Amino acid sequence: MKNIRKNDKANHTEKGEVENNQNQGANSLTRLNKFIANAGVCSRREADKLIASGMIKVNGVTVSEMGQKVGAGDKVEFDGNILQQERKHYLLLNKPKGFITTTDDPYERKTVMSLIKNACTARLYPVGRLDMATTGLLLFTNDGELAKKLIHPKHSVKKIYHVVLDKKLTKNDMVKISEGIELEDGPIKVDDIAYVSGAENKKEVGVQLHSGRNRIIRRLFEVLGYRVVRLDRVSFAGLTKKDIPRGKWRHLTQKEISYLKMLK
């Protein structure tokens, strides 16, 4: 009886060790959509679409089912390229006038990518857009999930703009903007608007909003008969231009990165 109990105990211990090792192995696996997002390709949701459309291969085999997990030894391919788990990079540019927000341009115009080309070896992408004539804050990252979060309307990420108009903004028109304006693609209501403190006239205003619609600030004033002479984004998701000269950039601090990831 003693031998049997001893063997049973040994078998039980061995079984526990095997199960523990299996659990540790399972814990080291990553869902395929998260792996793709961490490689800087896109968000998890977009990664699911890539998987469903048969555009992802794991160890040479096309995968089309959701939920698959991959380990450190698995080879994941997209569009013929092997994906790597990149270190995440986040940097903030104070964009000058005359640069377009795109990764490349068929017309060979100046792009914002030329301003950050020596920042790191990772492939970074701009989060959202600023048109060629607009200056100010532009965030770059290879963190696809965070980028998607920051531009999605449901997260209401705040942006603050310094707007210079071709003529004084009347109090009546400021009230109209505060209450909401109807544009061709639907109504728009700013979060806040005020004359710039210390400005010599009422041509300069500060506007805070969370909409990411195309040329929204310019169109907002144009519909009321104003022309935007200068437009500068001075704040994005709580980040500011402090200590970043025009045309220069800096990496985000760990505190700033943590703050962005905690945004609801």
139 Cα distance to chain centroid: 7
Q: Using CB atoms within 10 A of its CB, is residue 119 exposed (0-12), middle (13-18) or buried (19+)?
A: middle
**Residue 54 phi/psi, 5° resolution?**
75, 25
Please name every residue paired with 94 in a beta bridge, in sequence order, or none if there are none: 137
In the residue annotation, 173 being an active-site residue is answered as no
Q: Using CB atoms within 10 A of its CB, is residue 90 exposed (0-12), middle (13-18) or buried (19+)?
A: buried
> In the numeric block, which tokens belong to residue 41?
């390709």
Options 74, 104, 131, 192, the catalytic residue: 131
CB-facing half-sphere around the CA of 259: CA atoms within 13 A: 11
Cβ atoms of residues 105 and 98 within 8 Å = no
Closest CA to 128 of 207, 53, 209: 209
Residue type at 202? K
> In the numeric block, which tokens belong to residue 15?
């079984």
Catalytic residues, which ones?
Answer: 131
